């Protein structure tokens, strides 16, 4: 059969005001450019499970309504597999309808399908709910035997030791500035608002390290010095796995980015290994820096607050040369109009290299969505296209929607302004240089018993050049 793997790529914001200021704000635009070009690891994984007798293609579709896609549907295909995130699901349904109209079988899967299976089933010949690995070969076999079922669903957590090799070779590598590898699935914390892979299956699992390295080596055959993004919910949730992973990555000569929680700051040895293994940046959910909030990432952040203050944790991580992308969620139930100023004050004090501000988003299928639905706080239930993390789709507890909107825009203007973006990057480099100097001084003094003045001179010679770590 001819099978098309169709990825709806690109990033989304519906709010025209945010879109228009985004165009002018360097920090905001740079980040969206970086992340806009990532392939769909879910579809590459399915491709890796597809028997060799099928003819397969992977296609990135940034805009399903663009003139070329409407004029000529990519294909022809016997079957198309379309992946789904909530914000693009209506686009996916429109695309599915066009393929079904020409007799192509449409299979839908991915996060949104797992969250809203009954809705998705109306737009496909078959859906796969949850993790696809156990079902994909069966789906294809059933199509060939003309006995396709309407729904395939597994509740047993998939064993990542059996994970297939994603078909990175299907990509035109020159189009991407990063490629993704998954090292774990799920997260032990299960926060109320989380809409990531814990919603496919809540059981937290790690992939055996040799498998991760094999995927990396496969990528390196296609792109010798790649930039990798780990497509995990929380890469260092299991510190033992984290140590083993970073030890295995050391010497691979790659640079990488990942998402994790702030507790990595408590493990200096792990931070050293991360840096040695090429970690350029970690994205950490800080949600709200003020103590005593309802703490969306309640369990993990509460622990971090007990052990060390956020500010200190950020400094500690960044002193290792790993930049922190701190994520703040606006519109939490404890937030008032005064919260924006407080968050801005914290950001300025924090010396964070990168900042992400988003609004609280009740994704369907999350406990947060259920709570807001019960309390009548959803403004437009079913407006999935607005589940972008930037558009406001609920009634905040302690302020109006307009106040939240204004607070978001004002804060975005400050955080992503050209001046402030350059300032925080320079600040990081300066701080890293002095941390390097301190480390080198201490090492030289320890080695030679040299007097501090002499050690300092030598240290400046040994200084590693502190170029922008993300470039
Ligand atoms: C990489 C990534 C992206 C890439 C995606 C590239 C692409 N074309 O897929 C980019 C940067 C473009 C992106 C954009 C966005 N993202 Co994003 N992204 C991620 C990230 C970091 C990893 C996802 C991933 O690769 N997972 C690994 C793969 C293996 O898992 P998977 O896709 O779920 O696939 C498995 C199953 O779902 C299933 N499956 C998947 N597809 C299909 C298809 C078929 C036919 C079948 C049968 C099965 C199947 O099989 C796979 C194996 O079991 C997650 C965060 C996270 N930690 O998960 C956020 C995440 C998925 N993103 C999110 C969001 C909100 C967005 C944006 C809306 C942001 C924005 N404002 O623009 C956009 C939407 C883009 C879109 N095109 O729809 C949310 C989604 C929540 C939701 N329920 O929709 C997440 C969870 C982050 C979060 N904070 O909540 N993102
Ligand atoms: S810590 Fe992050 S990844 Fe884990 S459940 Fe909470 S929001 Fe999701």
pLDDT of residue 429: 83
Q: Token match 């004090």: residue?
A: 349
Q: Token match 């686009």: residue?
A: 91
Span of 3-12, 109-118, 205-214, 427-436 with lowest mean pLDDT: 427-436
Ligand 1 centroid to Cα of residue 200, in Å, is: 11
pLDDT of residue 456: 42
Report pLDDT digits (tens) over 15-72: 888 777 765 555 555 655 555 578 999 999 999 999 999 999 999 998 899 888 888 9
461: pLDDT strictly greater than 50: no
Nearest alpha-carbon partner for 57 in 78, 37, 38 = 78
- What would the mean pLDDT of 259-263 be, rounded to a whole number? 91
Q: Token match 């949600």: residue?
A: 287
258 touches ligand 1 (CB under 6 Å): no
pLDDT of residue 112: 96
Interhelix angle 26-36/418-448, nearest 10 degrees: 80
pLDDT of residue 460: 35
Ligand 1 centroid to Cα of residue 455, in Å, is: 50
Question: Whose Cα sits closest to atom 7 in ligand 2?
Answer: 194
Ligand 1 centroid to Cα of residue 167, in Å, is: 17
Ligand 2 centroid to Cα of residue 362, in Å, is: 14
Span of 205-214, 373-382, 415-424 with lowest mean pLDDT: 415-424
User: Which CATH fold topology does 2-13+38-153 show?
Assistant: Rossmann fold (3.40.50)
Domain residue limits, the chain: 2-13+38-153, 178-360+396-416
187 touches ligand 1 (CB under 6 Å): no
pLDDT band at 467 (very low <50, low <70, confident <90, very high): very low
What is the architecture, at CATH level 2, of domain 178-360+396-416?
A: Alpha-Beta Horseshoe (3.80)
Ligand 2 centroid to Cα of residue 104, in Å, is: 37
Report pLDDT digits (tens) over 198-248: 788 878 999 999 999 999 999 999 999 999 999 999 999 999 999 999 999
Q: Which one of the ligands is nearest to 232 CA?
A: 1
- The number of beta carbons lying within 10 Å of the beta carbon of residue 378 is 17
pLDDT of residue 199: 80
Question: Whose Cα sits closest to atom 15 in ligand 1?
Answer: 11
Question: Whose Cα sits closest to atom 3 in ligand 2?
Answer: 233
302: pLDDT strictly greater than 60: no
Ligand 1 centroid to Cα of residue 231, in Å, is: 9
Report the percent of the chain where pLDDT is more than 90.
66
11 touches ligand 1 (CB under 6 Å): yes
394 DSSP assignment: B
- The number of beta carbons lying within 10 Å of the beta carbon of residue 26 is 14
Report the percent of the chain where pLDDT is more than 70.
88
Ligand 1 centroid to Cα of residue 191, in Å, is: 18
Q: Give the three-state DSSP class for 416.
A: coil
Residue partners of 455: CB distance under 8 A and separation at least 6: 441, 444, 445, 448
Region of 200 on the Ramachandran plot (φ > 0 left; ψ -120 to 50 alpha; else beta): alpha
d(CA 84, CA 135): 17
Cβ atoms of residues 56 and 48 within 8 Å:
no
pLDDT of residue 300: 53
- DSSP β-bridge partners for residue 127: 108, 151
- What would the mean pLDDT of 99-111 be, rounded to a whole number? 97
Q: Which residue has the higher pLDDT, 77 or 426?
A: 77
196 touches ligand 1 (CB under 6 Å): yes
pLDDT band at 308 (very low <50, low <70, confident <90, very high): very low
Q: Which one of the ligands is nearest to 114 CA?
A: 1
Give the number of the atom of ligand 1 that is nearest the alpha carbon of residue 131: 53
Structure tokens at 295: 């703490």
2: pLDDT strictly greater than 90: yes
Mind spelling out the 3-state secondary structure of 84-136? CCHHHHHHHHHHHHHHHHCCCEEEECCHHHHHCHHHHHCCCCEEEECCCCCCH
Give the number of the atom of ligand 1 that is nearest the alpha carbon of residue 89: 78
Q: Which residue has the higher pLDDT, 307 or 261?
A: 261
pLDDT of residue 425: 86
- What would the mean pLDDT of 246-253 be, rounded to a whole number? 96
- What would the mean pLDDT of 314-343 be, rounded to a whole number? 93
pLDDT band at 449 (very low <50, low <70, confident <90, very high): low
282: pLDDT strictly greater than 80: yes
Our mutation pick for probing the ligand 2 site, out of 191, 298, 361, counting the most ligand atoms within 8 A of Cβ, is 191
pLDDT of residue 395: 98
- What would the mean pLDDT of 439-462 be, rounded to a whole number? 57
445: pLDDT strictly greater than 90: no
pLDDT band at 307 (very low <50, low <70, confident <90, very high): very low
Structure tokens at 83: 């992946």
Ligand 1 centroid to Cα of residue 39, in Å, is: 10
Pocket lined around ligand 2, Cβ cut-off 6 Å: 187, 189-191, 194, 196, 198, 233-234, 261, 285, 297, 300
Q: Which residue has the higher pLDDT, 290 or 253?
A: 253
Q: For 300-401, where are the E strands, in sequence order?
A: 323-330, 354-359
Give the mean pLDDT of the chain. 87
405: pLDDT strictly greater than 50: yes
200 touches ligand 1 (CB under 6 Å): yes
- What would the mean pLDDT of 154-165 be, rounded to a whole number? 93
Ligand 1 centroid to Cα of residue 304, in Å, is: 27
Span of 363-367, 399-403, 441-445 with lowest mean pLDDT: 441-445
Q: Which one of the ligands is nearest to 361 CA?
A: 1
236 touches ligand 1 (CB under 6 Å): no
Look up the pTM and report it. Answer: 0.91
pLDDT band at 452 (very low <50, low <70, confident <90, very high): very low
184 touches ligand 1 (CB under 6 Å): no
Cβ atoms of residues 180 and 229 within 8 Å:
yes
Q: Which one of the ligands is nearest to 107 CA?
A: 1
């Amino acid at each position: 059969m001819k099978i098309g793997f169709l990825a709806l790529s690109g990033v989304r914001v519906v709010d025209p005001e945010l879109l228009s200021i985004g165009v002018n704000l360097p920090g905001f635009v740079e980040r969206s450019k970086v992340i806009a070009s990532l392939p769909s690891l879910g579809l590459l994984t399915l491709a890796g499970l597809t028997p060799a007798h099928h003819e397969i293609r992977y296609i990135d579709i940034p805009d399903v309504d663009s003139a070329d896609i409407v004029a000529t549907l990519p294909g022809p295909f016997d079957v198309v597999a379309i992946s789904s995130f909530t914000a693009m699901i209506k686009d996916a349904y429109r695309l599915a309808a066009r393929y079904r109209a020409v007799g192509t079988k449409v299979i839908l899967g991915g996060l949104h399908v797992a969250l809203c299976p009954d809705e998705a089933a109306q737009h496909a010949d078959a859906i796969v709910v949850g993790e696809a690995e156990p079902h994909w070969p069966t789906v294809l076999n059933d199509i060939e035997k003309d006995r396709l079922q309407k729904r395939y669903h597994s509740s047993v957590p998939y064993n990542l030791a059996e994970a297939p090799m994603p078909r990175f070779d299907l990509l035109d590598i020159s189009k991407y500035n990063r490629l993704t590898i998954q090292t774990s699935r799920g997260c032990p914390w299960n926060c109320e608002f989380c809409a990531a892979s814990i919603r496919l299956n809540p059981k937290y699992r790690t992939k055996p390290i040799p498998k991760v390295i094999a995927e990396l080596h496969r990528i390196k055959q296609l792109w010798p010095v790649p930039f990798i993004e780990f497509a995990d919910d929380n890469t260092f949730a299991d510190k033992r796995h984290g140590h083993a992973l970073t030890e295995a990555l050391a010497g691979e000569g790659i640079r990488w980015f990942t998402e994790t929680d702030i507790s990595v700051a408590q493990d200096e040895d792990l931070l050293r290994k991360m840096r040695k293994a090429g970690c350029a940046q970690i994205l950490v959910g800080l949600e709200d820096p003020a103590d005593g909030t309802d703490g969306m990432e309640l369990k993990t952040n509460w622990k971090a607050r007990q052990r060390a203050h956020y500010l200190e944790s950020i400094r500690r991580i960044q002193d290792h040369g790993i930049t922190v992308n701190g994520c703040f969620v606006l519109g939490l139930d404890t937030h008032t109009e005064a919260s924006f100023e407080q968050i801005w004050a914290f950001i300025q004090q924090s010396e964070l290299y990168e900042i992400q501000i988003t609004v609280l988003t009740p994704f369907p299928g999350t406990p947060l969505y259920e709570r807001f639905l019960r309390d009548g706080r959803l403004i437009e239930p079913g407006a999935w296209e607005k589940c972008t993390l930037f558009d406001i789709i609920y009634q905040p507890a302690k302020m109006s929607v307009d106040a939240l909107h204004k607070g978001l825009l004002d804060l975005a203007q400050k955080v992503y302004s050209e001046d402030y973006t350059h300032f925080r990057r320079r600040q990081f480099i300066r701080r890293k240089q002095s941390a390097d100097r301190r480390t080198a001084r201490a090492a030289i003094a320890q080695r030679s018993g040299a007097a501090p003045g002499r050690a300092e001179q030598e240290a400046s010679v040994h200084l590693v050049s502190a170029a922008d770590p993300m470039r």
